[in-house]
Amino acid sequence: MAVRVDADGDVLVVVIDRPEARNAVDRAVAEGIAAAMDRLDADQAVRAGIITGAGGVFCSGMDLKAFIAGELPYAGDRGFAGLAERPPRKPLIAAVEGYAMAGGLELALACDLVVAARDARLGLPEVKRSLVAAAGGLIHLARRIPYHVAMELALTGDPITAERAYALGLVSRLAAPGEALAVARELATAIARNGPLAVEASKRIVRGARDWDEAEAWRRQQEIAAPVYASEDAREGATAFAEKRPPVWRGR
């Protein structure tokens, strides 16, 4: 099986399981991740997801052997690796060990948070193979880090360390080698404690705000936030605070 999925309490853990191919993405991986994202969106018992790779490597990118054979690692409208073009509604965390290269980095950048081991390396080496990082990598870099740094990564194809990626803001948290998944679980658990409607709405606003002008941002924020304020969970949150007890979320 190219992708393993495990529900760990209210966290869904998705593992790319092709260590013999450095977890390169072929069609089976793309379809497996897409199915896992569908499950993350649909399963009310899970509140957040984690994606990682088996064997101490996150992902080496597109499977070039499969590509040469005419296979494309896309899955429906979710795009490359079953994730790049349509991420899940719920928060998704990348837990990076070893390296996240090419499509592997694009996969991580499609997530909402990235935890990386301190000895991990990240890069977009596509230009070294006369390819283009067209699965979101160039778009995300242009929006998230300084122009000249983005250009250096895009045009040289040389990787950077996790420490450098953390300083640039591409990585949310650093972990000791071998502990990226454990740190990602801590983050996912902290997210899962919160009101699920508010978490999903907050994610939508943060992701959308990059493309909205000032007037649109306020209007769209109101449209997204208003149903949350009118929900049972909002009343439960306020009541639980007043009664000094943990809230019981119902997702409605």
User: What is the spatial distance between Cα 101 and Cα 122, in angstroms, rounded to a whole number?
Assistant: 5
Distance of CA 61 to the CA centre of its chain: 15
Q: What is the Cα–Cα distance from 75 to 134, expressed in whole angstroms?
A: 15
List the chain pLDDT tens, one digit each, 252 residues: 799 999 988 999 999 999 999 999 999 999 999 999 999 999 999 999 999 999 999 999 999 888 888 888 999 999 999 999 999 999 999 999 999 999 999 999 999 999 999 999 999 999 998 999 999 999 999 999 999 999 999 999 999 999 999 999 999 999 999 999 999 999 999 999 999 999 999 999 999 998 899 999 999 999 999 999 999 999 989 999 999 999 999 988
Residues designated as active site: 106, 126
- To which residue do tokens 């997702």 refer? 251
Structure confidence at residue 99 (pLDDT)? 93
Residue 5: how many other CB atoms lie within 10 Å = 17
Check residue 76 and report its DSSP letter. G
Q: What is residue 1's predicted lDDT score, i.e. its pLDDT?
A: 79
The answer to whether residues 201 and 152 touch, using CB atoms and an 8 Å cutoff, is: no
Q: For position 199, what pLDDT does the model report?
A: 96
Give the whole-angstrom CA distance, residue 52 versus residue 200. 22
CB atoms within 10 A of CB 199: 20
Residue 45 sits at the vertex; the CA angle it makes with 41 and 47, to the nearest 5 degrees, is 60
Structure tokens belonging to residue 196? 């699920």
